[in-house]
Amino acid sequence: MTLFDAFRFDDKKALVVGGATGMGAASAELLQSAGADVVVMDFAEMALPGATAIHVNLAERDSIDAAVDQLAGPVDALLSCAGVADGTPGIERINFIGHRHLIDRLLAKDLLPRGSAIGFISSAAGLGWEANLPRIKEYLATPDFDSAVAWVAENGGADYLSSKQAVCAYVATQAMPMLQRGIRINATCPGPTDTPLAQANKEMWLGFGADYRSEVGIEAATAAEQAFPLVFLCSSAAAAISGITLVTDSGYFAAGVTEVFPPATDVANFLLGRLS
């Protein structure tokens, strides 16, 4: 046994929601390589050998409940990776409300024990959520799946940016109450990443920040490169970290905020709610 074992997942069970493709699939593979017993929940078919597959539709409460009922025992790491793009029916449920309901069900069934961790994939689009916190707190105050869906129907928010801001705010507001139960919760906010979802929206998703990447001499991140920090946040090595939204965009946002790369400044100010 070595100190580096804190980064591993031997004798641990990891549940990856949205683990069939993209960053979720890369995370599931990495967790398995690190010693975890991996369970993948997804609407799509999972192809990772040795992992357990459970079908779920995050847009439907009953499907989530049925999926949780199929879990055999508690999980040590929950990675909430599923997400869809603008224009997808039920985007607010798939990107946030369904994930929250799944967590609530796991907690209700005592399937997230002390020492477990939750890691969300949010997005760089979710940055600047603090500027909208009063409104988002109303959204987060909805007590269950159906009331959250009704709130969005009445107040708006069935879009990618709103759903990712909700994820970031949820992580921040849940850090303390979760930790009181011995559970850590964090999120990553990836920049452009070459995944099937990004390829399906290539002009917008992979075109974003292309000038910055050209300037610094890099390509869009791979799914594996985004999986590394997400899995780390759910490992024992990150025991002192909770409530953060880790920006994994190769420095684009930081360069915009500080005006080191001026073409990114308007984008950063928009996300932060600083544009008049």
Nearest-5° Cα angle at 111, 190 to 17: 30
User: What is the C-alpha to C-alpha distance for residues 15 and 36, in angstroms, rounded to an integer?
Assistant: 10
Q: What is the DSSP letter of 20?
A: S
- Give pLDDT tens digits for 128-138: 899 999 999 99
pLDDT at 208: 87
Name beta bridge partners: 246: 188
Residues in the chain: 276
- Give pLDDT tens digits for 225-260: 999 999 999 999 999 999 999 999 999 999 999 999
Asked if 19 and 40 count as a contact pair (C-beta separation under 8 A), the reply is yes
The interaxial angle of helices 61-69 and 98-108, nearest 10 deg, is 40
The DSSP secondary structure of 159-198, one letter per residue, reads: SHHHHHHHHHHHHHHHHHHHHHTT-EEEEEEE-SEESHHH
For domain 3-271, give the CATH number. 3.40.50.720
**Closest by alpha carbon to 96, among 63, 59, 147?**
59
Tell the residue number behind the tokens 């597959």, with chain if given.
Answer: 53
String of b and e for 133-171 (b: at least 16 CB within 10 Å)? eebbeebbebeebeebbebbeeeebbbbbbbbbbbbbbb
User: What is the C-alpha to C-alpha distance for residues 141 and 107, in angstroms, rounded to an integer?
Assistant: 17
User: What is the C-alpha to C-alpha distance for residues 274 and 65, in angstroms, rounded to an integer?
Assistant: 41
The torsion of the CA quartet 204, 21, 71, 172, rounded to 10 degrees, works out to -30
Asked if 243 and 186 count as a contact pair (C-beta separation under 8 A), the reply is yes
Residues of the chain below pLDDT 70: 275-276
Residue 221 to residues 101, 173, 241, Cα–Cα distance (Å): 30, 29, 23
User: What is the C-alpha to C-alpha distance for residues 220 and 230, in angstroms, rounded to an integer?
Assistant: 17
Q: Please give the sequence-ordered ranges of beta strands (E in DSSP) within 129-217, or none if there are none.
A: 184-190, 193-194
Q: Tokens for 254, please give them.
A: 């930081």
Burial class (CB in 10 A: 0-12, 13-18, 19+), 66: middle
pLDDT at 275: 65
User: Which residues does 229 contact at the CB level (< 8 Å), separation at least 6?
Assistant: 188, 246, 248
pLDDT at 247: 96
